[in-house]
Amino acid sequence: MITNPRIGDQYQIWYRESLRHIPYHGHVGIAVIRSQNRPRNHLIQTGNDFVMVPCGNFREISGKYDNEGLDNKKNSTLISFLIMARFGK
C-alpha cells in the first residue's frame, strides 16, 4: 500500500476486505494532490471524478497515466480552487 504518492503517477484505489463496498474500490486514477499534514487524505482523479482517498488505501500500478481525453484547463481550475479552499490563499 502507498502512503506517499507521487503526483502524476497512476494508482488503484484499494480498501481492506471489510470496506470493499465503498464506492471507487478498484478504480484506477492519478494522484493530483498529496497531503502532508493531518488528515492524510490524497486527491485521486479517476476519469472525470475526483476522489479523496485516505492514506494507505491505494496501490501502485505499472505505467503512467496519459491524460488523453481529459480537460486539463478544467482540472487545473478545480485544483486551484481546492488549494485555495484548503489554505485560504
- Domains of the chain with CATH codes: 9-87 (2.30.30)
pLDDT at 38: 82
pLDDT at 66: 47
Q: What is the mean pLDDT, run by run of 10 residues, along the chain of 89 residues?
A: 83 89 89 84 89 87 50 55 60
pLDDT at 67: 46
Instruction: Please give the Cα distance from 53 to 21 (Å, whole number).
Output: 14
pLDDT at 83: 62
pLDDT at 69: 41
pLDDT at 68: 45
Torsion of CA 77, 42, 83, 7, to 10 degrees: -60
